[in-house]
């Protein structure tokens, strides 16, 4: 099991000297977890079908991801879990949609940076959950994405600020969307 404590290294010099060793663990952790992250160098990011935008923008040591959803690259932007959580979609189905969205976010991070090992930490994420009237457990849904990020990057680097908002609809009838900011190591 990979250790996730901040500054945990095999080096007596600590985190400053060993950032490369700590970051290297992120790609290793993906392999250990058996994750299948989309390769957006082969099939372009699907979100570009939703309007005029780019999948990410990098400035300095910050990476901003555009809104990401769960659809599978190359599948014409069809959601696996379509509709409103608390009506057509269960909390578990929406949690899985958020998890798949997280995988797409990881694919875009890898596309933008070349490797997940260049992530210093996740700064924040804003999550949108399509909620049926009266459904208030939107936070349970967005944990699908943030649990994945914690598992990949560890609790210190993988958990940033998070807000989840219940909304009435999203593009293509998706039940979940995420956008996020990542601090990078340059």
Whole-angstrom distance, CA of residue 9 vs CA of residue 13: 9
H/E stretch holding 179 reads: strand 176-184
Residue closest to 152 by CA, chosen among 23, 58, 46, 14: 23
Q: Residue 10: its pLDDT value, please?
A: 32
Tell whether 55 is covered by a domain.
yes
Q: What is the pTM of this model?
A: 0.87
**For position 130, which CATH number holds?**
3.30.1330.40
37-84 per-position pLDDT tens digit: 999 998 877 666 777 888 999 999 999 999 999 987 666 667 889 999
> Residue 6: inside a domain, yes or no?
no
What is the number of structural domains in the chain?
1
Task: Give residue 169's domain range.
Answer: 15-184
* Cβ-contact 128, 105 below 8 angstroms: no
From residue 116, how far is each of 68, 72, 112, 127 by CA, in Å?
A: 17, 20, 9, 21
Q: What is the structure's pLDDT at 75? A: 66
For 81-125, write each residue's pLDDT tens digit: 999 999 999 999 999 999 999 999 999 999 999 999 999 999 999
**Does residue 9 sit within a domain?**
no
Cα angle 101, 64, 25; round to 5: 70
- Hey, what are 148's tokens? 């994945």
Q: Domain for residue 167, yes or no?
A: yes
C-beta separation of 94 from 129 below 8 A: yes
Q: Answer whether residue 114 is part of any domain.
A: yes
């Amino acid at each position: 099991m990979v250790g996730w404590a901040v500054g945990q290294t095999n080096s007596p010099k600590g985190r400053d000297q060993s950032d490369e060793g700590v970051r290297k663990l992120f790609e290793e952790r993906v392999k250990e977890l058996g994750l299948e992250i989309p390769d957006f160098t082969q099939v372009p990011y699907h979100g570009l079908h939703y309007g005029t935008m780019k999948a990410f923008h990098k400035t300095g040591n910050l990476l901003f991801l555009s809104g990401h959803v769960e659809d599978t690259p190359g599948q014409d932007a069809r959601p696996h879990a379509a509709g409103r959580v608390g009506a057509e979609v269960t909390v578990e189905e929406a949690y899985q949609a958020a998890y798949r969205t997280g995988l797409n976010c990881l694919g875009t991070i890898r596309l933008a940076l070349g490797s997940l090992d260049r992530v210093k930490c996740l700064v924040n994420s804003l999550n949108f959950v399509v909620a049926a009237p009266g459904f208030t457990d939107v936070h349970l849904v967005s944990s699908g994405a943030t649990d994945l990020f914690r598992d990949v990057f560890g609790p210190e680097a993988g958990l940033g600020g998070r807000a989840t908002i219940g909304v009435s609809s999203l593009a293509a009838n998706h039940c979940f969307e995420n956008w996020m900011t990542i601090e990078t190591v340059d």
